[in-house]
Structure formats: structure tokens, C-alpha cells
Amino acid sequence: MENRMKEFISSYESKVIPLYRESNLASWNANISGTTQDWAKSEKASFDLAKIYTDSIAFKELNELKKSGLIKDSLLTRQLDLLYNAYLGGQVDPALIAEQIKMETDISKKYSNFRAKINGKDLSDNQVEDILKNSTVSKELQAAWEGHKMIGPVVSEDIIKLVKQRNTIARKIGFNNYHEMSLKLSGQDPAEVTAIFDELDNLTRDNFIQLKREIDSYFAKRYKIKTSELRPWHYQNRYFQEAPQIYSVDFDKYYEKQDPVKLVAKFYDGIGLNVDAILARSDLYEKPGKNQHAFSTDIDRSGDIRTLDNVRPDSYWMNTLLHELGHGVYSFYCDKNLPFTLRDAAHTFTTEAIANLFGRFATNPQWMLNMGIIDAKESEKIADESRKALRLQMLVFSRWAQVMYRFEKSMYENPGQDLNQLWWNTVEKYQMVPKPEGRNMPDWATKIHIALYPCYYHNYLLGELLASQWYSYITTNITKNQSFVGDTAVGNYLKEKVFMPGSRYYWNDMIEKATGEKLTAKYYAKQFVQ
Ligand SMILES: [Zn+2]
């Protein structure tokens, strides 16, 4: 049986390796050029790759191998588990999959090409964020927020169709809906995730209520209105997913004259995780037609790792670059002797955790001091406010992640319900931001993740929990240097315990091997709530 498994793997690898690379390259090119031609190529390549997993004869073989119970070698067992789930996800009529990919590509184009129209001018997402962050005029803020929300009606009907399509696919292979399928096939139990979210809701609610009062009284003063007049556009961000700047530290000013790309290269090199090869292949700055977000991609699991960004000299992009390169080093320093299937993160949220662990440094005064961005006097001056700001950021984000997780779960359980209302009910409950009077728009559809990165968002919050767990472990056991700057022990630890093993262990086993404990919320609570 083990020999049969080995034969299966070698035949699988000969098919998947070239198509995996081709599909990632095509997607990379399309995200940069934004042209119809490149998107068509990307669509075809994704389809060809996904088609591998629809092979029913191959799935039957995996099913037999799994049922035999005779695969004992740990590398083979792990590959069997991962491949079984991958093929199970593909046991659907290829025409349905093709349709799904086409729907996703069409929606993706609409997001990429959308620019908010405000007073006759086309504004990019970055420009909308600029207004929301800096203007103090309610009318301007409302116009920017509403202008951006006009992407909602452009894509909402398409998204509902796509959600139903995804559910059809999930039911055909024995799941209740796509949400349940996504979690289970990625090795997560929905009940376990919901339990963690409930626990976190309880841990953060009282603190958040208190902080929200502070936020509201700050904004009422800033805009010269009553707290009861505050609306979603008053929170300095399209979704209130990031902390409003209620504390006096303006991190952007420290980065105005900095080059975030140089800083990120210097930092990672200093901790023994050089990223020059990644940066050399990356696409870092804004261009017309280009995807306005940021991501990191492992093109071939053999060292071609890239990140797409739209870097500006500010704290947001410093954080984003540190984050994306965190994903980058996780892939880059994976053990290349592992089989192809295991040259990947233990789970998507474990790579998010590494990305978050590093992203947080962008507003850490100790890190900024050690990186030569500010001096000791300034670092001391902003220490207290920075700590409060990060705490606020974490609590605000945790409430927003609740909205995303609960909305998606409910949407897939019943896509026919009033989603506009569901969205605002969830926002009001977890973020405590009131719906504008009489508003009945598909505001949920303006968040690109709901359409294109489905049932994934909860992983960002699990990633924050694990980032806190790692930070606590590393600063207790590996280094006394709270900023990691210049300490190669950090890079060595991460390489050995986290990056090299790839996905050879089940994620909670990897975490236990690396930190001595399974995933727990207690270090996040210790860091940000108590
Ligand atoms: Zn990420």
C-alpha cells in the first residue's frame, strides 16, 4: 500500500508541479496588468490546475489507500490526508467548477476596475482612505464612504449567485454548505472555531464597550457633533476594521521620509532571514490597472516567492510590507527536500500568524528606535500611547473579524435571507456602529474578501492569537530583545521550528512542537485585554 501511495504521489507531482507554477504566474501577471487578455489566461490556468483534483479515479485510489489503514510512514500519511481533502473538494462536475472560476474572475475584474466617483472625480481605494482618515468635514466623509460603497450594487447579485454555486458544489460532496466544507477541508472544525470566537467575544466585549465610549467621545469632539450623530463614515476607515487614531501618536509622520522597502530588507536580513531574492521578484508600487491590495505568492514552492504591494511611505505600508514578507520568509525558508505537497504552511492561519507577528512592529517604538527611525527620547515619549494604540487596534480588529466570521457563516447557511440587514445587525452587535437611517444597500458586498477570499477571514484572527503566543514564547525563551532587531536567534528558531517543517505536521501539533502548547487565546488576552 505504501508503494501504491508513492506511485500515486509521483504521478500526481508530474501533473501538478508545472500547472501550479503556470497558474500562479498567470494570476501574478493579471493582477499587475489588469488586462482582459491576462485575466483570461489566468482563468484558464486556474481551471487547468483545479481540474487535477476532479479526477474520480485518482480519488478512488486515495479513498482505498486511506481506508486500508496501511499507510504508516508519517510523511506519506500526512500527504495522504492533505491530498484526500484536496481531491474530495474536487469531486464535483468540472462544469460546475469552471463556472465558479469564471464567476470569480468576472467579479475580480469588477473590483480591480472600480474607482469611487466623488464630485465627478475617480478615486482609488488609497485616495478614499486618505479622505476618511484626514477630513474632519462630515459631508466629505459621508461622500467618500458612500462613493466607495457604490461597488456594492455592481457586484452583489453576482456574489449571491456565486455563493449559491459554491453551496451546490459543497452539497454534492456531502457537506451542508460551502462554509462548513471550506473549514473542514482545510483541517478545521467549525464548532471549534466558533467556540474560540465565542470565547474571544466574551474576553473582549467589556473592554471594547469601554474603548468604544472613548473612541466616540474623541470623534464627537473632532467632528463637532454629538456622539449620537456618529455614523460609519466617522471611524477613519471604510469598515472600522482598523483602530481610529484617537491617541496622539501619528505614526505616518515617522515614515514620511523613510523607504519602507529598504527598512524591511534590513530588518529581515538582521534576524537571519534575508529577503533580497523575494524583493527582487516583487512588484512593489502603484500602477494603473494593478490590483490595489497586497499579497504574497509562492510561485513554484522551489524558491520563486514574490509580493505585490502598492507601497507608500507611511505606517500602513510599513506594516503591510512586514506582513507580506512574513508570508514570504515562511515559504522561502521551507525545507526544499520535503515532497511538493508538504512545501507549504502548516495551515493558512499559521502563515498569517508569522505575517502579523512582524507586521505589528511597524508601530512598535522599540522596533522603530532599534531600526533608527526615531531616537530614544521620542521612543520613550510615545511608548505608552503606542501600547494603547496597538491594544485598540487589536480590539477593534477582533470585533471586525467577528462580523466577518459570523456574517459569512450565516450567509452560506442561508443565502436567501436579507443579507443587507444581516450585515448591519452583525455590525451593530459586534462593532457597535449604527446603521445609517433607512439604509438598505449591499454594503457587505463591498468587502472583497467575501466574494474572492471566502471563509478565510477567521484565519486572520486565529493568526493574531498565534502571533501573540509566538511573541510571548520567543521573548521568554529565545531572545530578551523585544524588537528582535539584529537577533539571528529569532530567525534560526523560526526556520527550525516553523518554516522548515512546512506542512509535515498537523497545525496544532506544529504549534505544540514550537511553543510547548496547543493554540490558545490566553497570550492574546494577556497582551491586549488584561
Ligand atoms: Zn496575510
pLDDT of residue 247: 84
State which amino acid sits at residue 183.
Answer: L
73 C-alpha to ligand 1 centroid (Å):
32
Separation of alpha carbons 460 and 352, rounded Å: 6
Separation of alpha carbons 138 and 131, rounded Å: 11
Nine cell digits for residue 427:
455590525
295 C-alpha to ligand 1 centroid (Å):
7
Checking if the pLDDT of 102 tops 80, the result is yes
Beta-bridge partners for 308: 283, 295
Residue 199 — very low, low, confident or very high, per pLDDT cuts 50/70/90? confident
Beta-bridge partners for 45: none
329 C-alpha to ligand 1 centroid (Å):
12
Tell me the three state secondary structure of residue 175.
coil
* CA-wise closest residue to 315 among 378, 388, 390: 390
Question: What's the burial of 256, exposed, middle or buried (CB within 10 Å: 0-12/13-18/19+)?
Answer: exposed
pLDDT of residue 520: 86
- pLDDT > 90 in the chain, percent: 88
Nine cell digits for residue 360:
505589528
Separation of alpha carbons 206 and 200, rounded Å: 11
Residue 7 Cα to chain centre, angstroms: 35
67 C-alpha to ligand 1 centroid (Å):
36
Residue 45 — very low, low, confident or very high, per pLDDT cuts 50/70/90? very high
* CA-wise closest residue to 343 among 16, 59, 29, 22: 16
**3-class SS string, 458-469:** HHHHHHHHHHHH
- The pLDDT tens digits for 411-457 are 999 999 999 999 999 999 999 999 999 999 999 999 999 999 999 99
Residue where the block lists cell 467621545 = 217
Residue where the block lists cell 463556472 = 99
59 C-alpha to ligand 1 centroid (Å):
31
Checking if the pLDDT of 521 tops 90, the result is no
* CA-wise closest residue to 396 among 213, 200, 244, 229: 244
Task: Report the pLDDT averaged over residues 244-258.
Answer: 90
Instruction: Pick 345 or 390 by higher pLDDT.
Output: 345
12 C-alpha to ligand 1 centroid (Å):
28
* CA-wise closest residue to 346 among 508, 514, 124, 524: 508
Separation of alpha carbons 398 and 415, rounded Å: 25
**How many residues appear in the chain?**
530
- The pLDDT tens digits for 270-319 are 999 999 999 999 999 999 999 988 999 999 999 999 999 999 999 999 99
347 C-alpha to ligand 1 centroid (Å):
12
pLDDT of residue 382: 96
pLDDT of residue 243: 86
What are the φ/ψ torsions at residue 118 (nearest 5 degrees)? -130, 120
Is residue 100 within 8 Å of 92, Cβ to Cβ? no
Separation of alpha carbons 178 and 456, rounded Å: 12
Is residue 385 within 8 Å of 393, Cβ to Cβ? no
Tell me how many degrees the CA angle 236-446-45 measures, rounded to the nearest 5: 125
- The pLDDT tens digits for 372-394 are 999 999 999 999 999 998 899 89
Quick one: angle between helices 348-359 and 315-332, nearest 10? 140
State which amino acid sits at residue 16.
Answer: V
Checking if the pLDDT of 249 tops 80, the result is yes
Is residue 185 within 8 Å of 87, Cβ to Cβ? no
352 C-alpha to ligand 1 centroid (Å):
5
Checking if the pLDDT of 248 tops 80, the result is no
Separation of alpha carbons 344 and 7, rounded Å: 21
* CA-wise closest residue to 505 among 9, 5, 82, 7: 82
297 C-alpha to ligand 1 centroid (Å):
10
Beta-bridge partners for 306: 297
22 C-alpha to ligand 1 centroid (Å):
22
Is residue 301 within 8 Å of 289, Cβ to Cβ? no
Residue 530 — very low, low, confident or very high, per pLDDT cuts 50/70/90? low
Q: Which residues surround ligand 1, an ion (CB under 5 A)?
A: 355
62 C-alpha to ligand 1 centroid (Å):
31
pTM of the model: 0.87
Is residue 326 within 8 Å of 305, Cβ to Cβ? no
Is residue 79 within 8 Å of 9, Cβ to Cβ? yes
For residues 95-107, one letter each, b for 16 or more C-beta atoms within 10 angstroms of the residue's C-beta and e for the rest, the string is: eebbbbbebbbeb
- The pLDDT tens digits for 126-181 are 899 999 999 999 999 999 999 999 999 999 999 999 999 999 999 999 999 999 99
Task: Report the pLDDT averaged over residues 258-267.
Answer: 98
Separation of alpha carbons 468 and 475, rounded Å: 11
Separation of alpha carbons 426 and 490, rounded Å: 40
Quick one: angle between helices 458-477 and 190-223, nearest 10? 90
- pLDDT > 70 in the chain, percent: 100
171 C-alpha to ligand 1 centroid (Å):
29
